[in-house]
Amino acid sequence: MISFYVNSSLYVQVLIATLMTWGITSLGASLVFFFKKINQTILDGMLSMSAGVMISASFFSLLNPAINSATNLNMKVWLVLSLGFLFGGIFLIICDKIFEKYLIKKKKKNITGAKRSLMLMFSITLHNIPEGLAIGVAFGSIAFNNGATLASAFMLAVGVGIQNFPEGSSVSLPLRREGYSRLKAFIYGMLSGIVEVFAGLIGCILVLYIEWILPFFLAFAAGAMIYVSVSELIPESQKNENKNIMNLFAIIGFVIMMILDIMFS
């Protein structure tokens, strides 16, 4: 199996690597099947932990790599990251209004909850696009003999995959909370990660052209994730009477994602 992988084309290697990351996302989303009864405190804790994970990933997985990438490309780092970050937040503000109008039109009973779930799913899906691109670029750069190796590219994919586990659950569990069936919540959580497969292949194919766009994409996804965290996840989790515990969950989520990013960077 290892020999087959090593001797495969770059496109096959990227495909297998991103299918792995998608599989781990699906594994995280499958946690929804293990909750027979949805406990409010547990779900609020998951929301708070998801906020910590997303805030941590915004820097360690997105902004920090964007800084390095923009620096290596001799870009104005502050300008590229500022524009990307702002556009990510503004884009979700626009999406927020669109979702709200759509849900009012559909006469949803719980507009806030449904909107939060849709935005969370959209944000994480968006977050997975630059991650997939980064994996594709890492594998594609092997062809240029610039120091990149198959081992380092694959470890990047492993790191992304491990990070995807809590992301899959952070989509499926809130959706279950809003009344979706376990199967439907799992499917939505699983689908949030499939974009990495396509983004990885695109990143590998367009590696000669995509590199200058990557810093902007990374910052864009970071802005989107911060927006969802501060506007939806944290305020909702703070409705729980155990506010200090919710704050602790957020810190734990941040630390877990930070450790994973540092270990597999």
Q: How many CA atoms lie less than 13 Å away from 142 in the CB half-sphere?
A: 21
Cβ within 8 Å of residue 184, ≥6 positions away? 175
Mean per-residue pLDDT over the chain, rounded: 81
Give the chain's end-to-end CA distance (angstroms, integer).
Answer: 25
Spatial CA neighbour of 54 closest among 133, 121, 132, 135: 121
Average pLDDT of span 160-188? 81
Quote the CA–CA distance of 207 and 137 in Å, as a whole number: 5
Write the pLDDT tens digit of every residue in 88-113: 889 878 877 776 666 555 555 555 66
Write the pLDDT tens digit of every residue in 179-214: 788 898 899 889 989 999 999 898 888 776 767 888
CA 69 to chain centre: 19
Percent of the chain residues topping a pLDDT of 70: 84
Write the pLDDT tens digit of every residue in 37-53: 556 787 788 778 878 88
- Return the pLDDT at 110: 54
Spatial CA neighbour of 177 closest among 39, 7, 22: 39
Write the pLDDT tens digit of every residue in 71-81: 988 999 999 99
Dihedral sign from CA coordinates of 84, 231, 91, 183 = positive
Quote the CA–CA distance of 29 and 175 in Å, as a whole number: 10
| 146 pLDDT tier (thresholds 50, 70, 90) | very low
